[in-house]
């Protein structure tokens, strides 16, 4: 029956051709399918992907960053995909036209976001890609893989750029730390110098505090002294106002004197008998006017010396005021009080200027005073003689008139009036002399203050030099700027301290001159006898005035007038007694000469600097010194002590000087008129003595002189008015000064509190400086070690590569698969062989019985012999031809064995189903093919496949054929896999063969053998017969 089956195939050409064609169907299926996907991943360079670069370059760490351009340059060298560099518009149109599978876009802020890594809110770069999965999903997957690789490359590039920039900064930091370490060493040295300066500063702060505390205790008496000064100013103002109110009476008296001169001219004939005596007296008086003027000049010189001393005293007070003003610049609270004191010193300077002018005028008449002193005794003797004659005779009016004429012509009244200010001057000498020691103390204090200012200047300059040295040794611009700013801030106080030292030196020089003049004032002395003499002369002046005012005989004969004459005679005797002894005249002359010398020094005529100019310069220097408050720290205690001592006695001294100035001013203003009048009287007396006829002419001249005197009275009244106005202003200024004293006291109290706090905080300042020095040493050591560690790090290009790609992926193949075709071949070969079995059972009449009357077993062997041969030929032909067309196998024998075993198992399975169920069985075979396509694991690992397929996976023949074919092609699974696969497949083949025999046995018993639903195939067989 087997032979008949084969004969049937040989005789039937259609069946033969079908069988032969069926044998190569698996090969054709495999070759066409595998070659279409033989190496798709090796041809991805042909997969078109559009690239759009909208990125804009930015600056990062001083370098240009353009991620988009760098990526484009890299992609042009990369051929993994078919990169197409187009615009955004063309890319979108190409994706729409199915020209591109993917669009990769670099947004315009890609580089900007990359550079924001060190910002407060860094932003990640976004590389956008758009795919069209509908065009081809595998193409989409490949594009995704390519985009992921591109993102990784860009990430590595950016990380490398970050690393390079960071390494550059680390290197700069290393260098900067080295420089900072050196700078820290220099800073440590500078801080040591600063510590020494702090020690000096705290020492001077202690001195300042001591001085300010002393000033606080001494400022109390200042209020009393200024109050006395204000009272004296008020008294002076009241006196001058009274004097101003009496100028009317003076003008009237001068007018009456002028009128009386006319009457005198009419009665000159009465006095011809006494002309000789009168002429002698007038000549004597005229000879004495020079001495009188000299004496007044000497007296004015002494007053000038006094004014000079007061001027220097005011300068000392101004220096103290300047020091307090500078100290006020540091405290802020004392500013107003010190400013008011400075204003007061300016007013005092103005008053001293007026005093200097008065002393200058007084000094010009010292010679006249001396001459008057020389002739004073003679004038008194003549007046005494005339009074004695009058006392003896008391007979005629002519003698009385002669006495009046003699008194008028002798100038005795004027001489006595000019000497009157000496009486007021005497009590002031002791007050002036007491200032010498205080002026000496002020000079010592200014010298100490100058030394302290120099010490501050030196300490600050050392600190400035140290800061400049540190700034010059560092490369850090920020640190250098800060150090230079601190040095610049110290420069202004240093310059101020230098200027303070120079100005204090100039003030000290002025005080030395003031001390010298004060010593000269101390040498001007008036004895008690001199004072008594001047006092007696003061009383005599009033008596002479009363006699001169007598106009008529009745008045002269009045008992009161006679008593006055007697008293006048006695007064002249008292005055003559000390004068005749000669001591008082010599003493007064020496005093007047001393005043003249002092005036010469106050107002020199040789072009040298006057004391007033020196005081003015000192005042200007004090004003400039007032602006240098921050430098005045070292000499505050000495200036404050001197200020307290000087201010304690300033009220009495200024009051006495004002009195002296007023008296000498009056005396000096009258000397020219006295000299002129005496000269005129002398000339008239000479003419009267020479010729009685000329007496009338002399009387007329006398009348003209009195007219001139009368004409000068308005000027005198005006001068008195100006003097009264000035005293009013002075009184108001002193009262204002007195009102500011409480403010000054409060400012000094606040200053004392501030210096106490500074002094108490000095230890903490020293401790802080020591800690600063220790910390700077530690900082220098730490910076040096840190710089060594940073500089020792090998930050090279290799290091940045390590940062950007710290891992290296190494692939070691346990088994090597050449390409996607080799990977898919086991699956395709198995499917092809199974399809071949199905096609064979469709084309070949499997139920046809080639010989009737035979057993089911014979029928079985006749059919299985054909199926077995076809299965073996299919397996061998497919495998051999695939190897011939490029499929390489590591184990060809294993490959053929597995393919043959699976082909036989598939053939017997399909034959069993076709035999048993006919067409439904063939359909079931097709369903089994579908199940094996999904459940055999031929394309994807079973771990990623649906759970149902994982359940049926172990029971599918194709599962084992694929594993066996993989081992035969690429190894890696072991020979045991092949043995297991072949064994299982052959076992399945035997089982399916047994099932096939049982099915044929059943069909024969049911008489269904030879019948098939494939009628057309059966008819074809009939035709062939």
Other Cβ atoms closer than 10 A to 740: 17
CA distance 953 to 959: 7
Assigned domain for 668 exists: yes
**pLDDT at 586 (0 to 100):** 62
Assigned domain for 785 exists: no
**pLDDT at 436 (0 to 100):** 47
Is pLDDT larger for residue 24 or for residue 529? 24
Is the pLDDT confidence value at 24 over 60? Answer: yes
**pLDDT at 982 (0 to 100):** 96
Residue indicated by tokens 């399809």: 835
Residue 994 pLDDT level (bands cut at 50, 70, 90): very high
CA distance 1010 to 1020: 14
Residue 913 pLDDT level (bands cut at 50, 70, 90): very high
Chain segment 581-629, per-residue pLDDT in tens? 545 566 656 656 665 665 665 566 655 555 556 556 555 655 655 555 4
Assigned domain for 243 exists: no
Which ranges in 761-819 belong to alpha helices (H)? 762-792, 797-804
Chain segment 800-849, per-residue pLDDT in tens? 566 556 666 676 667 777 777 788 889 899 998 999 999 888 878 877 77
3-state SS track over 620-671: HHHHHHHCCHHHCCCCHHHHHHHHHHHHHHHHHHHHHHHHHHHHHHHHHHHH
Chain segment 503-514, per-residue pLDDT in tens? 666 666 665 665
Is the pLDDT confidence value at 345 over 50? Answer: no
Query: In the structure encoding, which two tokens stand for residue 206, read together?
Result: 């202690």
Residue 323 pLDDT level (bands cut at 50, 70, 90): very low
Looking at the fold, whether 555 and 448 belong to one and the same domain comes out as: yes
pLDDT, the chain, mean: 69
Is the pLDDT confidence value at 183 over 80? Answer: no
Work out how many domains the chain is built from and give that number.
3
Is the pLDDT confidence value at 904 over 90? Answer: yes
Chain segment 405-460, per-residue pLDDT in tens? 655 655 555 665 555 555 555 554 555 455 445 555 555 655 665 665 576 567 55
**pLDDT at 940 (0 to 100):** 81
Task: Average the pLDDT over each of 71-80, 320-329, 386-395, 952-961 and give the range with the smallest value.
Answer: 320-329
Contacts of residue 31, defined as CB under 8 A and 6 or more positions apart, other chains included, come to 881, 882, 885
Query: In the structure encoding, which two tokens stand for residue 394, read together?
Result: 């008391």
Is the pLDDT confidence value at 986 over 70? Answer: yes
Is pLDDT larger for residue 599 or for residue 131? 131
Q: What share of the chain is helix, strand, coil (3-state, %, to 5)?
A: 85, 0, 15
Assigned domain for 200 exists: yes
Domain boundary among 717, 734, 764: 764
Looking at the fold, whether 898 and 958 belong to one and the same domain comes out as: yes
- Name the range with the highest mean pLDDT among 269-278, 329-338, 762-771, 795-804: 762-771
Assigned domain for 420 exists: yes
Task: Average the pLDDT over each of 2-6, 255-259, 621-625 and give the range with the smallest value.
Answer: 621-625
Task: Average the pLDDT over each of 135-144, 339-348, 376-385, 742-751 and give the range with the smallest value.
Answer: 339-348
Looking at the fold, whether 694 and 730 belong to one and the same domain comes out as: yes
Looking at the fold, whether 201 and 153 belong to one and the same domain comes out as: no
Looking at the fold, whether 7 and 63 belong to one and the same domain comes out as: no
Q: What is the C-alpha end-to-end distance of the chain, expressed in Å? A: 17
Assigned domain for 118 exists: yes
Say how many residues make up the chain.
1025
Burial 87-115 (b: 16+ CB within 10 A, else e): eeeebbebbeeeebbbbbbbbebbbbbbb
Looking at the fold, whether 484 and 579 belong to one and the same domain comes out as: yes
Contacts of residue 926, defined as CB under 8 A and 6 or more positions apart, other chains included, come to 838
CA distance 306 to 687: 44
**pLDDT at 465 (0 to 100):** 74
- 103 φ/ψ sector (left φ>0, alpha ψ -120 to 50, else beta): beta
Chain segment 199-231, per-residue pLDDT in tens? 776 777 677 777 767 766 766 676 676 677 777
Residue 961 pLDDT level (bands cut at 50, 70, 90): very high
Give this prediction's pTM.
Answer: 0.41
Is the pLDDT confidence value at 114 over 60? Answer: yes
- 555 φ/ψ sector (left φ>0, alpha ψ -120 to 50, else beta): alpha
Is the pLDDT confidence value at 259 over 50? Answer: yes
Residue 932's domain comprises 2-38+821-1024
Is pLDDT larger for residue 654 or for residue 384? 384
Is the pLDDT confidence value at 306 over 90? Answer: no
Domain boundary among 734, 764, 794: 764
Mean pLDDT, residues 154-180 taken together: 66
Assigned domain for 729 exists: yes
Looking at the fold, whether 202 and 153 belong to one and the same domain comes out as: no
Looking at the fold, whether 80 and 208 belong to one and the same domain comes out as: no
Closest CA to 154 of 255, 254, 78: 78
Residue indicated by tokens 């000019």: 418
Residue 491 pLDDT level (bands cut at 50, 70, 90): confident
Looking at the fold, whether 31 and 65 belong to one and the same domain comes out as: no
Mean pLDDT, residues 454-476 taken together: 64
CA distance 209 to 203: 10
Q: Supply the Cα-derived Rg of the chain in whole angstroms.
A: 70
Looking at the fold, whether 869 and 733 belong to one and the same domain comes out as: no
Assigned domain for 161 exists: yes
**pLDDT at 631 (0 to 100):** 47
CA distance 210 to 756: 9
Is pLDDT larger for residue 483 or for residue 263? 263
Closest CA to 4 of 850, 960, 915, 584: 850
Q: Are strands 48-53 and 82-85 parallel, antiparallel or unpaired?
A: parallel
Report percent pLDDT > 90 for the chain: 12
CA distance 745 to 226: 13
**pLDDT at 341 (0 to 100):** 35
Domain boundary among 764, 795, 830: 764
Report DSSP letters for 59-70, one per residue: EETTEEE-HHHH
CA distance 489 to 463: 11
Looking at the fold, whether 633 and 741 belong to one and the same domain comes out as: yes
Looking at the fold, whether 636 and 751 belong to one and the same domain comes out as: yes
Find the largest Cα–Cα distance for the chain. Answer: 226
C-beta separation of 295 from 368 below 8 A: yes
| C-alpha distances out from residue 55 to 86, 103, 105, 263, Å | 14, 15, 9, 128
Is the pLDDT confidence value at 642 over 90? Answer: no
Burial 182-205 (b: 16+ CB within 10 A, else e): bbbbbbbebbbbbbebbebbbebb
Query: In the structure encoding, which two tokens stand for residue 687, read together?
Result: 């003419």
Burial 824-856 (b: 16+ CB within 10 A, else e): bbbbbbbbbbbbbbbbbbbbbbbbbbbeeebeb
C-beta separation of 963 from 981 below 8 A: yes
Instruction: Look up the CATH number of the domain holding residue 156.
Output: 3.40.1710
């Amino acid at each position: 029956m087997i032979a008949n089956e084969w004969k049937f195939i040989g005789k039937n050409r259609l069946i033969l051709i079908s069988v032969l064609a069926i044998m190569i169907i698996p090969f054709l299926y495999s070759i066409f399918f595998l070659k279409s996907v033989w190496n798709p991943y090796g041809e991805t360079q042909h997969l078109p992907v559009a690239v759009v670069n909208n990125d804009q370059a930015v600056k990062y760490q001083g370098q240009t960053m353009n991620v988009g351009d760098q990526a484009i340059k890299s992609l042009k060298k990369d051929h993994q995909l078919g990169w197409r560099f187009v615009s955004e518009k063309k890319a979108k149109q190409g994706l729409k036209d199915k020209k591109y599978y993917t669009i990769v876009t670099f947004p315009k802020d890609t580089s900007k976001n990359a550079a924001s890594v060190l910002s407060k809110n860094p932003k990640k770069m976004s590389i956008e890609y758009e795919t069209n999965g509908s065009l081809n999903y595998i193409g989409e997957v490949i594009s995704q893989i390519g985009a992921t690789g591109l993102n990784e490359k860009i990430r590595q590039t950016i990380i490398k750029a970050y690393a390079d920039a960071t390494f550059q900064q680390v290197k700069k930091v290393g260098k900067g730390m080295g420089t900072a370490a050196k700078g820290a060493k220099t800073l440590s040295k500078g801080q040591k110098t600063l510590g020494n300066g702090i020690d000096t500063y705290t020492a001077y702060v202690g001195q300042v505090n001591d001085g300010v505390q002393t000033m606080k205790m001494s400022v109390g008496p200042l209020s009393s002294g200024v109050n006395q000064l204000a009272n004296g100013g008020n008294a002076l103002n009241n006196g001058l106002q009274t004097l101003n109110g009496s100028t009317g009476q003076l003008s009237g008296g001068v007018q009456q004197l002028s009128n009386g001169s006319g009457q005198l001219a009419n009665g000159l004939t009465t006095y011809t008998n006494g002309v000789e005596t009168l002429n002698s007296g007038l000549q004597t008086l005229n000879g004495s006017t020079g001495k009188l003027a000299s004496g007044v000049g000497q007296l004015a010189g002494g007053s000038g010396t006094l004014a000079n001393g007061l001027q220097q005293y005011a300068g000392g007070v101004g220096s103290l005021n300047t020091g307090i003003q500078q100290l006020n610049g540091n405290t802020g609270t004392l500013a107003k009080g010190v400013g008011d004191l400075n204003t007061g010193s300016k007013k005092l300077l103005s008053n001293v200027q007026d005093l200097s002018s008065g002393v200058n005028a007084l000094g010009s008449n010292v010679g006249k005073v001396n001459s008057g002193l020389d002739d004073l005794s003679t004038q008194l003797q003549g007046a005494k003689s005339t009074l004695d004659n009058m006392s003896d005779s008391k007979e005629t009016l002519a003698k009385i008139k002669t006495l009046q004429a003699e008194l008028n012509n002798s100038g005795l009244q004027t001489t006595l009036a000019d000497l009157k200010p000496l009486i007021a001057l005497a009590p002031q000498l002791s007050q002036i002399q007491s200032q010498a020691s205080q002026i000496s103390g002020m000079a010592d204090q200014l010298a100490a203050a100058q030394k302290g200012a120099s010490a501050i200047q030196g300490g600050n300059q050392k600190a400035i030099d140290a800061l400049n040295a540190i700034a010059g040794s560092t490369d850090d611009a920020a640190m250098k700027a800060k150090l230079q700013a601190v040095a610049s801030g110290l420069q202004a106080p240093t310059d101020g301290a230098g200027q303070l030292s120079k100005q204090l030196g100039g003030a000290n020089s002025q005080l030395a001159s003031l001390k010298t003049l004060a010593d000269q004032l101390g040498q001007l002395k008036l004895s008690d006898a001199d004072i008594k003499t001047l006092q007696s002369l003061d009383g005599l002046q009033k008596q002479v005035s009363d006699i001169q005012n007598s106009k008529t005989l009745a008045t002269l004969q009045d008992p009161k007038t006679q008593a006055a004459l007697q008293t006048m005679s006695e007064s002249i005797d008292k005055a003559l007694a000390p004068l005749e002894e000669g001591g008082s005249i010599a003493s007064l002359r020496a005093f007047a000469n001393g005043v003249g010398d002092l005036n010469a020094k106050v107002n020199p005529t040789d072009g040298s600097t006057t004391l007033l100019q020196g005081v003015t310069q000192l005042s200007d220097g004090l004003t400039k010194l007032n602006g240098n408050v921050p430098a005045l720290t070292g000499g505050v205690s000495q200036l404050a002590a001197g200020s307290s001592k000087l201010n304690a006695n300033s009220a009495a001294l200024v009051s006495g000087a004002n009195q002296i100035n007023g008296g000498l001013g009056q005396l000096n203003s009258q000397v020219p008129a006295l000299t002129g009048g005496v000269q005129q009287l002398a000339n008239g007396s000479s003419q009267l003595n020479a010729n009685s006829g000329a007496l009338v002419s002399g009387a007329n001249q006398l009348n003209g002189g009195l007219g001139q005197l009368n004409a000068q009275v308005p000027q005198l009244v005006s001068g008195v008015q100006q003097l009264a106005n000035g005293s009013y202003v002075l009184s108001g200024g002193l009262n204002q000064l007195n009102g500011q004293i409480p403010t000054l006291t409060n400012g000094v109290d606040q200053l004392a509190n501030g210096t106490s706090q500074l002094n108490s905080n000095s230890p903490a300042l020293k401790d802080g400086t020591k800690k600063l020095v220790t910390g700077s040493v530690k900082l220098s050591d730490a910076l040096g070690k840190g710089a060594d560690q940073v500089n020792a790090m090998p930050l090279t290009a290799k290091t940045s590569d390590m940062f950007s790609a710290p891992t290296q992926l190494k692939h070691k193949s346990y088994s090597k698969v050449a390409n996607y075709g080799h990977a898919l071949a086991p699956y395709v070969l198995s499917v092809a062989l199974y399809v071949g079995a199905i096609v064979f059972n469709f084309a070949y009449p499997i139920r046809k019985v080639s010989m009737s009357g035979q057993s089911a077993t014979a029928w079985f062997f006749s059919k299985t012999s054909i199926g077995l041969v076809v299965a073996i030929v299919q397996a061998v032909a497919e495998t051999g031809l695939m190897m011939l067309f490029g499929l390489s196998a590591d184990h060809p024998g294993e490959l053929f064995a597995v393919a043959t075993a699976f082909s036989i198992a598939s053939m017997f399975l399909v034959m069993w189903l076709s035999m048993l169920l006919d067409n439904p069985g063939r359909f079931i075979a097709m369903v089994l093919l579908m199940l094996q396509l999904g459940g055999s694991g031929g394309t994807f690992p079973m771990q990623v496949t649906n759970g149902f397929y994982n359940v049926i996976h172990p029971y599918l023949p194709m599962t084992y054929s694929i594993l066996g074919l993989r081992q035969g092609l690429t190894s890696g699974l072991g020979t045991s896999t092949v043995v297991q696969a072949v064994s299982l497949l052959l076992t399945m083949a035997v089982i399916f063969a047994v099932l096939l025999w049982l099915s044929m046995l059943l069909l024969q018993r049911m008489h269904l053998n030879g019948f098939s639903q494939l009628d057309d195939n059966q008819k074809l067989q009939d035709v062939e017969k």
